[in-house]
Structure 1
Amino acid sequence: MSKEPVYIDDQFEDEIHLRDLVEKYLRHWKWFVIGVFVCVVAAFFYLRYATPVFRTEASIVIKEEDKGGMGSQLSALQDIGVLGGMGGASVENEIEILKSKRLLQKVVNELGLNVSYFVKEGIKINEVYGNIPFYVKILKYNDEVNLAEEMPEEPYEIALINDKQISINDGEQTNTYELGAKIVLPFAEIMVVPNIVKKKRLMVDANRFLVSFKTIEGAAIGLEEAIQVSLADKNATVINMALEHPLKTKAQDILNELVNQYNEDAIIDNNLVSKNTAEFIDERLKIIGRELDSVETNKVSFKSQNKLTDIEAESVLFLENVNEVNKKHLEVATQMEVTNTMIAYLNEGDNAKLLPTNLSGQESEGMAELINTYNTLVIERNEMLKNSTDKNPVVKNINSQIDQLRSTVLNGLQTQKTGLRIAMNDLRRQEAIMDNKIAKVPGKEKEFRGIEREQNLKEALYLYLLQKREEASINMAVTAPKAKIVDYANSTVKPVAPKKMIVMGGAFLMGLLIPFLFIYVGDVLNNKIVTRKDIERALPNLPIIGELPSLGDKEEKIIADDDRSVLAEAFRILRTNLQYMFVNHNVEDGAKTILVTSTTKGEGKSLVSSNLAVTLADTKKKVVLIGADLRNPQLKQYIQHNKRQSGLSNYLYNDNIELDDIINPSGIKSNLDMISSGSIPPNPAELLMGDKIKTFFEALKNRYDYVVIDSAPLLLVTDTFLINKYADVTVYVMRSGYAESKFTDFVSDTLKEKKLERVAMVLNDVSMANFGYGNKYGYNYGGEKDGILEKIKKIFTRS
């Protein structure tokens, strides 16, 4: 049975990328632990010292207005047409009234909420209400200052010295005043009065208070923002009110007082409407009384002056005559219109058109005969024109006859029109006479009925107003509240804020989020090479043969004998991986030549070349280390030597200097020699281009097993490109957190242009959080276990 091939799909690759993303953050696990710890501790202290807030709720039901009170008064005005179309206020309107600044300012005034009292207890400042030995009354605000800007932001400190004196500290100075005396402050005049009513409930050991002042409007705005007013149900008239405040008693007093002020405001409005309604009705009664008396007087006078009889039969006769006259008038008007139409038709002078007949129904026999004769001639003319033209003598003769008949017919119609006009004028005179007769008798009866109708209307309105005046008087005596309390203000037993679980949970999440954001933002803004994966993504075809750990300032930079540190093991791994680069190297080619370079200075190529040479020397092979950076040599920091001794630059410049003159023992290993860079020449590139450099490398390859070259950075100078052809392998060093990401583009371009060959990457200065297997799996190279203090120190000193 054949096996199907196994493919690595995109989902598997996504899982790998996700795992890499998670591991990137898990490497910084200690910062997440620290973040959670700090945030949780901060949340604990916040909960310890935060002032608990309780929720206080109250509910009321709005009474229907049409059952009395203001609704009754408004309906009275609506019934008599004064407030037409005005309905009762909706519940939504009442909610807006409850939240209005006008009503809240009354609550502030009544409870004195523009002055708040606090007591400092340790680091906490707690508000107190009602149970203090004195209270501050604001007599008058200073109108000459802008209260919005001049009100003090910081509270005044008021202390009770004795039963008669107090001290006030405004932050700059302390003054002493008598209790009950008027005190002038920059923003207002105040008076401090002893709290005699609540003397038995005064706080213990508290005679010093912080007093905060606000304007009436400012305190009302604060209440408007804090009080929540909502409808219990869209189909109900129940309104819920809620207030979250640290002091239960104060919150309860505020809500109860709000309901009280709302009811008082509604009662005032109700009484105002009732009073205005009563005054309006009284005025109307006076006017209607006078009008009713006048109507009754007119009725008596009219009956005595006019003798009224039964005029119904006479009215029927007059109406019949009027109808007959109107009918004749219509007929004559119709005939007049038809005659005018015929005259206009004939005036057109068209011999081809026929005249209409029997339109009016009143033509004389002569006129009808003329019209028939006219139409006969027109028909005869039209028949002749079918086979002839207008120039035919017969046609001309017929046209002449038609013109003569047209003139005759027009004269007849004009005469008929004159007769119709005379008949119409006669009918109009008859109509006028009939109208005059009708107006004399029915007009009196009509006037009499009008007088009676006006009398009945005035009497009904007068009686109605008397009834409404009594209702208004009764409503003024009954002042029922508009809102009925369903539940008085009541506070929760447990505080609603701060909520312990939410605060602690939020602190825990914040402790995770803050390090995450720092790492994420740092990663987004980072333009450096940090881990080997950054190189692998940019240069996937380039082998990475080693990672070198970050070293502290006090750690040794050169590997010692029997060194089992992380640095030593990293170079041993580098040495082993480097051997795979020499798989095709022949013994006849001489020493294995390794060129160590970097993109720019400071990336650690001298550190790598020095320790690589030492590590290769540990294999009992003959190794020579060459300082080929003729411009800025750094090998002296790692392998001590005489700076004045001759080196590579001296050898290339002076033909009298032999190779043996510049080879010196390293002083570290017996089989490790060193050739320093020598004196800094003015023309290093020209020296490296000479023929002597080839002889130099050929001689070294015959003497040693390994040749390690510490060369110059590639991005800055061209020196390394000149000697790269003599190297079997180029070890390219990049420093973690130092080399910029764009350096990989430079490396890629260099490889494409074949300026470098057989290149292997080494990532230097890798932090322990990102470094190889020793940190990840906790392998101890030293063979000794660190103590607890050492482990904690490593956690916080290595990243």
Structure 2
Amino acid sequence: MTHSNNFKQSHTEEEINIREELEKYLRYWPWFVITVLVAIIGAFVYLRLTVPVYNTVASVIIKDEESQGGGGSAEMANFSELGLLGGMGTNSIENEIGLLNSRRLMISTVKALNLNIEYYDAAGVKEDEIYLDAPYLVTLLSVDDALLQHATREGESDFLIKPAQEEGVVELHFLENDKVLRVKLDEIVNLPFATLVVKDNRKFHEATGRLLTSKKSQIVKLKTVEQIADRLRSKVQVNLIDDNATLLEFNLESTVKEKAQDVLDQLIFEYNKEAIEDKNEVANNTARFIDERLQIISQDLDTVEVGLKDFKEDNRLTNIEAESSLIIENASDYRRREQEIGTQLELANSMISYLQDNPENSDLLPANMGLEGEAVNGQIENYNQLVLERNRILSGATERNPAVIRLNSQIEQLRSTILSGLQRTQSNLRIALNDLKRQSNLIGSEIAQVPAKELQFRDISRQQNIKEALYIFLLQKREENSLSLAATAPKAKIVDPAYSLGNPVSPKRNIVLAAALLLGLAIPFLVIYIRRLLNNKIERRDDIEKITRQIPVVGELPRIARGESDLIVENDRSVLAESFRILVTNLQYLLVNAETDGKGYCIYTTSTVKGEGKTFTSINLAMTLANTGKKVVIIGADLRNPQLQRYDNQSKSLLGVSDYLVSNDHTLEKLVHDSKFHPKLKLFLSGSIPPNPSELLRQKKFGQMIAELREQYDYVIVDTAPCMLVADTFLISRYADLILYVTRAGYTEKKLLNFAVDAVKDGKLHDVSFVINDVKTANFGYGNKYGYAYGAEQPSLWERFKKSF
């Protein structure tokens, strides 16, 4: 049961603490409303002035050439059998991503789209790029990159184009130096950094002849191609969608959707264009080799055919084949084999001659020439792939690149290997040919009876067949090579052409408005929190009650607005008057046990330091008591720094307490004067400033003075000196029935409250109660914080708002 009660009590205290903490911030609700409104208005202005940025996306599939060579469609299978799909293969998808991100490809894209010329709307509030919708387009004929880069850095390359009064003439207003240049459309304009032509791009309605575009002027910004390329490279993102696929996605954020789409589409086009050029390089090189060999073989074939014709004419031969068919039938097999080996030997000789005549490693070797032996053909294909890879790297690097050096070494080694292999093949073919010839000689003994002319004819005919077979073979290869050129497909297959998403990626309206709302709430919260965190002054009664519970707080006095009176008058219904009435009511409960023997009460007002409002509290407390019909006298006991005189300038020269204590010639009746504030309120001023105020206050005469005044008045209010600065108040504290310890909100430091607590513990002061002066309306602990003042006019919302801080 006890545990349950403790839990309920702790829960209630926690709830109260949370409510109190919230109230500390909610009392400043006007500031939260204002900052939220300002933040939201600022957010709307930001959204209005900020150009939205959209995300543009495109996707492609990078084809794997090696996998395509093995088949796919029927046509691709046929081409593979013909050897037409050799060439550049994909080493890795990372290399292709690197190529797509290369500066060279982006420079080609910028040049193709003229992106180094930017157009902006001159009439808009925000700087909107209008891309190709500009009323006038600029064409650069020549550019000095160094001068243009300097002009761009200085802002001298930006100019405004406005139509002039004269038809076909525009004005170029240079923004940096305010120079104006009138030029005609479609005529060459010479600038220090470029030569350009301004063309009319305005669209007219055919029927009415009116302009369809509302833009009459524009700002043109000229940049170098490299500047734009570097900027776009940093924005274009190429990402691999899946590690197990070759699907790439392009992303580009831009304020102009059409421009971003053109950039991505052109970038893919430039990539495909370069890939096709690489693929066709081997085919073009093979075509040149075949044409050279066809020219040589054609001349040799003509020579053999002319010799055969002359031989038949000289020897009057008609049908030698029929006459020697029986003999030749036995040797036909050897001749066929001899012909095949001769063809292979001729091809080997041609390839060796080509390698020896072209020693440069940058040249590609003819592929698929029909040489038997998979080793040599595979080496030639690998050689061409290495050369292409080396050339691709050289397009973006130098000869000293480690990758280039490594590839050059591999190419040199492979070239030597190919040459050695061809030479071995040549040697083997010659041996085989010689062997066949020996076999043919053996058969020749069987046909020894055949006339020598027949043998000579067969020799010439054999040479003709070899040349003719080689000629037909090269013609076939040339056609196949032409087909491979015609069948070249793009390397990057477009899955989705560039398209822009509908919603901008920035600024996001909902996020900006939400951030503005949070910022509007956070700013006053942080200001209030930091202000409270750094504030070492008391502000409200809670600040005192947290430090000390031994000394009660009997009153809170409101802050006096500038221009308002700080004195209570008769029938006063102000908040100040109500606060002192509450203070007087609370004093009645504290004085109920005071032993006065029918005499008046003696109340001291003191403070820790100067400026906390002792005198202000004293005189208004006296006025409040006087308004209730009590006889009241105020004693100025601060002999060092008297302050009562400032409320009554005419009494500054009057004698007072110090004069009474110094001399026995003065009586209280002569020194206590009427006040101008109230007929029941008397003033007993401090008098002349003595050199020894502490010694005067130590006298018993001061106590006798208090006792005498208590017999004459209902309340004796004593305005004493600050306790922390001098000991005067401690010397006379025993004569008081109640001591009001005045603190001031926003002025008295919290640590000074410990001085009052220690003074009570040490017995220097007794019957002490705190009074908080100069409290803001928002910080009142009770009653007045709700704005209640009986019979008084309710202050306006603006007045209460101003008093909240």
2:606 to 597, 607, 632: 597
Give the root-mean-square deviation of aligned CA atoms.
Answer: 3.9
CA offset at residue 671 of structure 1?
1.8
1:534 is paired with a residue whose SS is helix
Q: Measure how far apart 1:754 and its partner are.
A: 2.7
* 1:267 lines up with 2:276 in the alignment: yes
Structure 1 residue aligned with 2:800: 794
User: Deviation at 1:766?
Assistant: 1.0
Aligned to 2:14: 14
Kept in 2, the 8 Å contact 1:160–1:167? The answer is no
By how many angstroms is 1:559 displaced?
1.0
- Contact 2:634/2:718 (8 A) holds in 1: yes
Partner Cα distance (1:200, 1:131) in 2: 16
How far apart, CA to CA, are the structure 1 residues paired with 2:555 and 2:533? 26
Q: Kindly indicate whether the alpha-carbon contact (under 8 Å) linking 1:63 and 1:483 is maintained by their aligned counterparts in 2.
A: yes
Report the alpha carbon displacement of residue 93 of structure 1 after superposing the two structures with TM: 4.3
- Aligned counterpart for 2:179 among listed residues 169, 174, 177: 174
Displacement of 1:271: 4.3
2:51 is the counterpart of 1:51: yes
SS of residue in 1 equivalent to 2:143: strand
Question: Which residue is 1:189 aligned to?
Answer: 194
CA distance in 1, matches of 2:63, 2:232: 25
Asked whether the 8 Å contact 2:608–2:724 carries over to 1, the reply is: yes
User: Counterpart of 1:576?
Assistant: 585
Pick which of 208-217 and 571-580 moved more.
208-217
Corresponding pairs, count: 626
> In structure 2, the residue corresponding to 1:125 is in which secondary structure?
coil
Contact 1:647–1:676 (CA<8 Å) still a contact in 2?
yes
Larger radius of gyration: 1
Helix, strand or coil at the partner of 2:779: coil
Matches within 5 A, 1:439-588: 478-588=487-597
Query: Is the CA contact 2:272–2:491 (under 8 Å) kept in the aligned structure 1?
Result: yes
1:114 aligns with 2:116: yes
Which residue among 283, 289, 294 is the counterpart of 2:427? 294
Q: How does 1:68-467 map to 2 (within 5 A)?
A: 68=68, 88-121=90-123, 123-137=125-139, 139-143=142-146, 147=150, 150-152=153-155, 155-161=158-164, 162-179=167-184, 180-185=187-192, 188-195=193-200, 204-271=213-280, 276-278=363-365, 281=380, 288-295=421-428
- Aligned residue number for residue 735 of structure 2: 726
CA contact (8 A) 2:606 2:720 kept: yes
Partner of 2:25: 25
Asked if the contact 1:271–1:476 (Cα under 8 Å) also holds between the matched residues in 2, the reply is yes
**1:551 Cα deviation (Å)?**
1.0
CA shift for structure 1 position 105: 2.7
- 1:257-294 CA distance string (max 9 Å, x none): 12212222333444457755436949676654433333
CA 592–206 in structure 1, closer or farther in 2 if over 3 Å, else same: same
Could you tell me which runs of 5 or more consecutive residues in structure 2 were left unpaired when the two chains were aligned.
286-362, 368-379, 385-414, 438-474
Q: Which runs of 5+ in 1 are unaligned?
A: 305-465
Q: Higher mean Cα deviation, 658-667 or 161-170?
A: 161-170
**Which residue pairs with 1:615 in the alignment?**
624
CA deviations 1:76-131 (Å, max 9, x no partner) are 9xx9xxx9xx9944444434443343332322222222232111335333221112
SS in 2 for 1:656: coil
Residues 550, 768 of structure 1: 8 Å contact kept: yes
**1:7-64 Cα deviation digits (max 9, x unpaired):** 7643332222211111101110111111122222223333344434433322222222
Identify if the C-alpha distance between structure 1 residues 695 and 182 changes in structure 2 by more than 3 Å, giving closer, same or farther. same
TM-score by length of 1: 0.70
Distance 1:31 1:743, change over 3 A: same
User: SS of 1:25's equivalent?
Assistant: helix
Q: Deviations over 1:448-479 (max 9, x none)?
A: xxxxxxxxxxxxxxxxxx99999988655543
Q: Kindly state the Cα deviation for residue 198 of structure 1 after the two structures are TM-superposed.
A: 7.3
Q: Is the 8 A contact 2:551 2:757 kept in 1?
A: no
Alignment check: 8 A CA contact 2:111 2:225 kept: yes
SS in 1 for 2:122: strand
CA distance in 2, matches of 1:273, 1:613: 114
Give 1:523 deviation, angstroms.
1.4
Report the counterpart of residue 40 of structure 2 in structure 1: 40
User: Residue 635 of structure 1: which of 637, 641, 644 is its match?
Assistant: 644
Q: Scaled by the length of structure 2, what TM-score is found?
A: 0.70
Paired AA for residue 161 in structure 2:
I
Query: Mean alpha-carbon deviation: is it higher for 21-30 or for 38-47?
Result: 38-47
Residue 243 of structure 1 and its aligned partner are, at CA, apart by 2.9
Distance 1:541 1:229, change over 3 A: farther
Structure 1 residues 103 and 635: CA distance shift in structure 2, 3 A: farther
8 Å CA contact 1:68, 1:475 repeated in 2: no
Q: Hey, what's the Cα distance between the residues in 1 that align with 2:756 and 2:98?
A: 73
| Cα distance change on mapping 1:245 and 1:297 into 2, 3 Å | closer
Moved more, 153-162 or 605-614: 153-162
Q: 1:432: which partner in 2?
A: none
Amino acid aligned to 2:188: A
| Superposed displacement of residue 722, structure 1 | 2.0
CA spacing shift, 1:292–1:124, aligned 2, 3 Å: closer
Amino acid at match of 2:528: I
Mark the CA change 1:751 to 1:106 in structure 2 (over 3 Å): closer, same or farther.
farther
Q: Which amino acid aligns with 1:292?
A: T
**Contact 2:633–2:684 (8 Å) recurs in 1:** yes
Post-superposition offset of 1:720: 2.0
Q: How far apart are the structure 2 equivalents of 1:60 and 1:4?
A: 70
Shift of 1:548: 0.9
Q: Against the structure 1 CA distance between its residues 2 and 131, is the aligned structure 2 distance closer, same or farther, given a 3 Å change threshold? A: closer
8 Å CA contact retained: 2:203, 2:212: no
